[in-house]
Amino acid sequence: MLTQAVDDYLAVRRAAGFKLKTTERYLRYFVHFARARGDTHVRGTSAIDWAAQASTEVERHHRYQRVIHFARFMHAEEPRHEIPPEHVFCGHRPRPTPYLFTEDELHRLIRAAGRLGPPGSLRPRTYKTLFTLLAVTGLRPAEAYALHRDDITHDGLTIRKTKFRKSRLVPIHDSTRTALEHYLEHRSRIARDDDHVFVSLAQRPLSPCIVSRMFRQLLRAAGLPDRPGRPRVYDLRHRFATRALETCPDTRDHVGRHMLALTTYLGHAHIKSTYWYLECTPQLMTDIAAQCEDFFCGESS
């Protein structure tokens, strides 16, 4: 009964365009747990007990929410499925503080990538081009890993079905396009078995684990902080966003248009995601405080 209910739920949601890989894994585990208890329908107590087995509060929350969504869907058709109560587990997880690379630090990282071995391999050009591209475009790392050669067009980079299942065009500077063309020219002489722009020595698409491991190696080689959790590859995107905001015109009309354009460029679903970059940068917060002070002092004078 529960297994068929999960199959039906996943089929309907996937028909609407959702992938639900993690959701399916959670629900299959939950069904195994519930069936061992003799449950034929969702029970609130079983949902709580199953979610409580996770090692962290955030993970418990994620597990529990998947069951709640599933139970709501099934309850509409079969009231014997209980909808577990909300707010049993806390799902708040603070965002990590970004590491904002200085110009010198970024150049040191790129130079270290260019010195990678083995001699004559594609690896140094791959990582030098990859990290430079992330820094000057603000792409999500996963978007860069998924790029195919045909995605590099005269108008920019075509980013296909990314985080929110939407595609977008990312304009790039002529110098960036030229650098990519030079890299692809060299790549075509060495790696030909895969159509991805960035590939490993085994000529396969780069994975987050491989890139993260290489990134930490380059941090050490460049004499940059190598503390757990920071800097991260994703911080190259943070750097792009904060630099774009720091150069934003200071009139309110211009700020609004600039923020909306940056939201679209970065591929954010909501502008509030872009506003977060204002909060995480001391220089931007200082500028905001100064402008607020000038505004209110001007009103009172």
Q: If we measure between CA atoms, which residue out of 238, 22, 266 comes closest to residue 135?
A: 238
Q: At what angle do helices 235-246 and 271-279 cross, to 10 degrees?
A: 80
Does 249 lie in the same domain as 130?
no
- pTM beyond 0.75: the answer is no
Rounded mean pLDDT for each run of 10 residues along the chain, 301 residues in total: 94 87 95 96 97 92 95 94 93 74 94 94 96 94 94 92 75 94 91 86 91 94 78 90 74 60 73 66 60 59 47
What is the Cα–Cα distance from 105 to 221, expressed in whole angstroms?
A: 12
Q: Considering the domain boundaries, does residue 116 fall inside one?
A: yes
pLDDT for the residue 91: 74
Q: Considering the domain boundaries, does residue 82 fall inside one?
A: no
Radius of gyration in angstroms for the set of CA atoms belonging to the chain, rounded to a whole number: 24
What is the Cα–Cα distance from 274 to 255, expressed in whole angstroms?
A: 12
3-state secondary structure of 214: helix
Task: Provide the domain count of the chain.
Answer: 3
Residue 74, H or E segment: helix 57-75
Q: How far apart are the first and last CA of the chain?
A: 72
pLDDT digit string (tens) for 87-146?
Answer: 899 877 667 778 889 999 999 999 999 999 998 899 999 999 999 999 999 999 999 999
What is the Cα–Cα distance from 214 to 262, expressed in whole angstroms?
A: 29
Q: Considering the domain boundaries, does residue 282 fall inside one?
A: yes
Q: Could you identify the residue written with the tokens 């069936």?
A: 35
Q: Considering the domain boundaries, does residue 245 fall inside one?
A: yes
Q: Considering the domain boundaries, does residue 25 fall inside one?
A: yes
> Kind of pairing, strands 168-170 and 157-159?
antiparallel
Under a CB-based contact definition with an 8 Å cutoff, are residues 149 and 193 in contact?
no
Could you give the C-alpha distances from 192 to 49, 67, 142, 246, 254, in angstroms and in order? 51, 45, 21, 41, 46
What is the Cα–Cα distance from 64 to 47, expressed in whole angstroms?
A: 7
Q: Considering the domain boundaries, does residue 228 fall inside one?
A: yes
What is the Cα–Cα distance from 172 to 157, expressed in whole angstroms?
A: 7
Q: Look up the CATH number of the domain holding residue 196.
A: 1.10.443.10
What is the Cα–Cα distance from 22 to 192, expressed in whole angstroms?
A: 33
Give the burial string for 25-61 (b: 16+ CB within 10 Å, else e): ebbeebbebbeeeebebbbeebbbebbeebeeeeebb
Does 71 lie in the same domain as 157?
no
Residue 169, H or E segment: strand 168-170
Range of the domain at 130: 103-234
pLDDT for the residue 194: 84
What is the Cα–Cα distance from 62 to 91, expressed in whole angstroms?
A: 7
Does 205 lie in the same domain as 110?
yes
Under a CB-based contact definition with an 8 Å cutoff, are residues 75 and 83 in contact?
yes
Q: How many CB atoms lie within 10 A of CB 141?
A: 20
pLDDT digit string (tens) for 262-281?
Answer: 777 777 767 667 666 666 66
pLDDT for the residue 243: 81
pLDDT for the residue 238: 85
Does 108 lie in the same domain as 207?
yes
What is the Cα–Cα distance from 84 to 60, expressed in whole angstroms?
A: 14
Q: Considering the domain boundaries, does residue 80 fall inside one?
A: no
